Amino acid sequence: MPRTDMPTSLTRIHFLLALAIVAIWGSNFVVIKLALNHLPPLLFATLRFALVVFPLVFFIKRPQVSWINLATYGVLIGAGQFGLMFIAMKGHISPGITSLVIQLQVFVTIGISVLRGSERLRGYQYVALGLAVLGLAIIAIYGGGSATPLGLFLVICAAISWGIANIFNRAAGKIDMLAYVVWAALFAVPPLLILSLIFEGWQADLQGLQQADLLSWGAVIWQSVANTMFGYGAWGWLLSRYPAATVTPTALLVPVFGMSTSAFFLDEGLEIWKLAAAGLVLGGLALNLFWPRLYSQIR
């Protein structure tokens, strides 16, 4: 039974907390790009999840979730989402565009739920998906140096992996999200390390570790501590105190922070086609999120 005693609007301090989380998640794409200047992408992903696991796994109790669920989620998020996304960002797609395209995971999650029979696709969701696909088409047509076909394909695959992982996360029920991510990361590290050794090679990995500067290691720590430990932990804390419909709309700001920080720190241009694509994708996400509540109020 959903709780009825939850407040329906964020307090000022809690809104600022939510804003800090999405700002970290959005600016994180710039941090990733900086680390990839020295570290091979799969090795970088391995280090990211290794620092999530250790030492927290010794202090956080394993959530009451099956090992199969944890393992599947860990592999999908590790090798699937971040592994593919990091490879794509190594010269194939810009951080700002990545922060936008990866949000397609929302529609992947909905699509899988429909195929499994647990949800029914409604009219407004067709429109929302259409807007997002149109935005994606603009990126494919005008992307140029900002998004190669390979980069766009890899990030879409990463979004699909994230969407599938969301289904397993839902199946886990109401749990401590930070504990879930930490224990699932146990299963993200081995496949990422194996794939790195196979496709990048131990020599490239060793060279990357030797060439990594303080900025690179700072990026790895930021990925693990700020993006995962603080981000997921604080987000889960907010969701335990407010309805999901109150908290989740702030996540729409992730691509906004992603594109703006990329423009500021990396001089990534904000051309008209990018803004149009962002407007369409975010419009689709907003329609999917807000329409049910709006419709219930105008009926």
pLDDT digits (tens, 9 = 90+) for 278-294: 999 999 999 988 888 78
pLDDT of residue 4: 54
pLDDT in tens, 16-27: 999 999 999 999
What pTM was computed for the model? 0.91
DSSP code per residue over 188-247: THHHHHHHHHHHT-HHHHHHHHHH--HHHHHHHHIIIIIIIIIHHHHHHHHHTTS-HHHH
Q: Which residue has the higher pLDDT, 237 or 155?
A: 155
Helix (H, G, I), strand (E, B) or coil at 147: strand
Q: Tokens 């991510």 sit at which residue?
A: 181
d(CA 150, CA 8): 43
